[in-house]
Amino acid sequence: MPDHAAAPRSRAELEWLKLERLRSLMRTILPANRFYAVKLARVSPELESLAALADWPFTFKEELVEAAALAGQPANLTWPADRYVRFHQTSGTHGRPLPVFDTADDWAWWMEIWRLILDRGGLRAGDRVLVASSFGPYVGFWSAFDAALARNVMAIPTGGMASVARLELARSLAATVLVATPSYALHLAEVARTQKIDTAKLPVRLVIVAGEPGGSIPAVRARIAETWGAEVLDHAGATEVGPWGVGDLHGPGLDVIEPWFHPEFLAVDTGKAAGPGELSELVLTTLGRSGAPVIRYRTGDLVRPRWPSEAEIAAGGRPWVCLDGGILGRTDDMLVVRGVNVFPGAIDDIVRSFPEVIEYRLTLTTDASLDMLLLEIEDHLAAPDRVARELQVRLGLRVDVQIVPIGSLPRFEGKARRVVDRRPPSQPQT
């Protein structure tokens, strides 16, 4: 069961807390956890410092997926399967879904971390939390729903409901908090307009977004705030890791919830430890999920870390590391187009800066070995040139922007996939 230790007030206190929690985790899971007993056989689990983790092997999602397929259940379980009470799986967006089990104690750990997230959003007595999720096997917003229940506020499930029905439920029950992906929060507002519902006049005062980087993309965040007349709180997590990140009501960015997750940052250019502001891959170690731990897990998320200064901490700031701009993209999503590195989030930020553009899709192809970019937009102004100019200025790339009928492009409740790369895998990217 998670403890409620006093919040560390300095980086030194935080590092000590993390080291103690990691030592405790290792004493708990070894040798019962066969996956890590084998994986860590050549290193000493008796850590003298967190820096010693650099000598430990990484954990990759692919190896967990392959091992689970062979075993017929998650490979990194510490206890016999009958001790686990919850099943979820990853979305499979980047490959085969990964099954994940949690014990009751592990789920209580999730709830403790969600307590911190809901506190950051200012959840209060009497709030009504509408969770716009299908409630399928993906952890999605199950944890947010249970966290609302744990805080003794009304939790409103909407699994299987159409968007119009969800809006009517939000209005009739006077929901004050909406939990959704950024894409779906914007889609709900779009549907509301067709139904003559002004979302800005609904009681919703807080929108908690997760599942996509949009909550820390300025244009996306601003549009959600404006259309709902609400504050926006970004959140990041992964089924196999846990709810590891939380944003701020005052602007974009994510804090790693370091009391329960130890982050490392691998520079994209060198693969070595990254410095402040350097583009890097986020690596996470869970510090309290003993039933299904992950150690030095390569998340694939691209970030730019910033450690708080002593002055910021002395002024009352948390000592947690901040990810400026949140999750910038993924190692397997970064596009190299005519020699330029392009993140889908950068496209999102540019397109969403035009309030008349409702939805979009970017398709990449090749013609005579040259990358070609086609951006289809649903635009109330039907004026593609202004979007093309902005893309040219901010990305340095020429993009063919075309108008398509409103309502013709796909909408997404879960993770949106608006970039379609149809270039041949073996084709050099020029």
Decide if 138 contacts 113 (C-beta within 8 A): no
Residues 6+ apart with CB under 8 A from 235: 117, 208, 209, 210, 215, 243, 245, 246, 247
What's the average model confidence in pLDDT over 146-160? Answer: 96
Number of C-beta neighbours around residue 48 at 10 A: 9
Asked if residue 310 has pLDDT above 70, the reply is yes
The H or E element containing residue 114 is helix 104-121
- Whether a cis peptide bond, with omega within 30° of 0, leads into 45 is no
CATH number of 1-330: 3.40.50.12780
Residue 94: the pLDDT is: 58
Could you give the CA distance from residue 74 to residue 64 in angstroms, rounded to a whole number?
7
* CB contact at 8 A, 308 and 235: no
- The tokens for 187 are 């889609």
Who wins on pLDDT, 278 or 393?
278
pLDDT at 335 over 60: yes
The CATH number of 335-421 is which of 3.10.20.70, 3.20.20.70, 3.40.50.720, 3.30.300.30?
3.30.300.30
Lowest mean pLDDT among 2-11, 135-144, 269-278, 384-393: 2-11
Query: What pLDDT was estimated at residue 3?
Result: 47
Read off the pLDDT band of 413 (50, 70, 90): confident
DSSP letter string, 233-267: EEEEEETTTEEEEEEETTEEEEEE-TTTEEEEEEE
Residue 384 has pLDDT above 50, yes or no: yes
Place 6 in a pLDDT band, splitting at 50, 70 and 90.
Answer: low
Cα torsion through 80, 83, 87, 89, rounded to 10: -40
**Phi, psi (degrees; rounded to nearest 5) at 233:** -120, 120
pLDDT, average across residues 73-95: 88
For the cut 50, the answer to whether the pLDDT of residue 75 exceeds it is yes
pLDDT in tens, 238-261: 999 999 999 999 888 999 999 999
With a cut of 50, say whether residue 189 has pLDDT above it. yes
The beta strands (E) that lie in 55-163 are given as: 84-89, 99-103, 128-131, 154-157
The boundaries of every CATH 3.40.50.12780 domain in the chain are 1-330
pTM: 0.86
Instruction: Please determine, for residue 91, whether its predicted confidence score (pLDDT) is greater than 80.
Output: no
What pLDDT, on the 0 to 100 scale, is given for residue 95?
Answer: 63
CATH 3.30.300.30 residue ranges in the chain? Answer: 335-421
| CA gap 332, 334 in Å, rounded | 6
- Across 140-174, b (16+ Cβ under 10 Å) vs e yields bbbbbbbbbebbebbbbbbeeeebeebbebbbeee
Give pLDDT, residue 388. 94
Terminal C-alpha separation, the chain: 53
Q: What is the pLDDT of residues 113-141, one digit of tens each?
A: 999 999 999 999 999 999 999 888 888 78
CA distance 347 to 109: 36
